[in-house]
Amino acid sequence: MRSMFARLALVLSFASVCAVPAAADVTVTLKWTLVNGDTLTRANYYAHNKVRITAPDGREYMFDAKTDSVTVIRHDAQMYWTGHRAHADSMAREIMNANRQGVPSMEVTDPVAWGERIAAFNDSIKIEPTGKRKKIAGYPTDEWVLTAGSFLHNEQWIARSLVMPNYGPEMKKTITAAIKDPLGRTLMRLLIDSKEKEGLALAAKTSFRTLSREGSFEYEAITAKSGKIPAAAWQIPQGYARFVK
C-alpha cells in the first residue's frame, strides 16, 4: 500500500494526529459523532513533542516524543494503559493475533484472494480537491475527498496554516490493534499513513464498509486556540484504573 501514499496529498490521519504550528502549542476542541452514534465534545492537544487525540470509537491516545511512550485511555471502562512504544507495539501484535484466533478471516484462510482484494482496493484509492472553501473555528479551510472504491468515503476540510510533525506512524500499531476486521485495519492504516502534506483537518466526515460492518463518524472543530497547554491536559482522569497485563 505504501506506493499509493505518495499520491494522497493533504490527507489527515483519521484522528488528526498531524498538525499544529511548530512554534506554538494548540488546543482544538472538536464536536464528535462517534462510530457507535454517541456524541461528545472534547479537546485535542498538540504540543511540539507530544499530542493527545480522540479516536472515532471515543478512546484517547497520547504520544510523548521525549519518552517515546504511548498512552491509551478507555473511557467506557475507565481504564488506561501507558508504556514505552516498543511495549505498546508488542501488546498490539498480541491483540491482533488474538483477533485472528476467532472466526478465521480471508487474510488467514485464503491469503492469495486476500492479496487480490487488497490490490483492487489500492487501485481504487483517489484523492481530489473539490474547490470548496470555508472558515472553521476562524481558519480558512479547503475541502478534499478521499475515496477507496465502495469501502471508504472521507471528506476533510483542511486548514493548511496549521502545521507540525506527524506522530501517526508512532501510534499506528496501537490504534489499529483494537480493530478486529482485517479490512477495517487496512482502512485505518490508509487514513493514518496518508498524511503526506502539511495541514490539519478541522472537520471530517467518513463512511466505511469492511468485511463485517459498515458505519460512519464525523467531527468539526468548535475552537482552535494557540497558547501554553496546562499540565492537567496530559493527565489521566481521576479514578481510572491502570491496565496491567
Residue 94: per-residue pLDDT: 63
* Range of 77-91, 95-109, 222-236 with top mean pLDDT: 222-236
For residue 85, is pLDDT > 50? yes
Tell me how far apart the alpha carbons of residues 171 and 175 are, in angstroms, rounded to a whole number: 6
Closest by Cα among 52, 182, 59, 168 to 117: 182
Residue 139: per-residue pLDDT: 94
Whether this prediction's pTM lies above 0.85 is answered by no
For residue 18, is pLDDT > 60? no
User: What mean pLDDT, rounded, does the chain reach?
Assistant: 78
**Res. 188 pLDDT band, cuts 50 70 90:** confident
199 class by beta-carbon count within 10 Å (0-12 exposed, 13-18 middle, 19+ buried) = buried
Tell me the domains of the chain and their CATH numbers. 2-227 (2.50.20)
- Looking at per-residue pLDDT, the higher value among 243 and 235 belongs to 235
- Looking at per-residue pLDDT, the higher value among 174 and 48 belongs to 48
For residue 244, is pLDDT > 90? no
pLDDT digit string, tens, across residues 133-160? 999 999 999 998 888 888 889 898 989 8
Residue 223: per-residue pLDDT: 97
pLDDT digit string, tens, across residues 30-53? 999 999 999 999 999 998 889 999
Q: Which long-range contacts (CB under 8 A, 24 or more apart) does 124-129 make?
A: 124/148, 124/149, 124/151, 125/4, 125/7, 125/8, 125/190, 127/7, 127/8, 127/9, 127/10, 127/11, 127/194, 129/10
- Rounded to 10 deg, the angle between the 168-176 and 85-100 helix axes is 30
Q: Which of 30-34, 63-67, 236-240 bottoms out in mean pLDDT, i.e. has the lowest?
A: 63-67
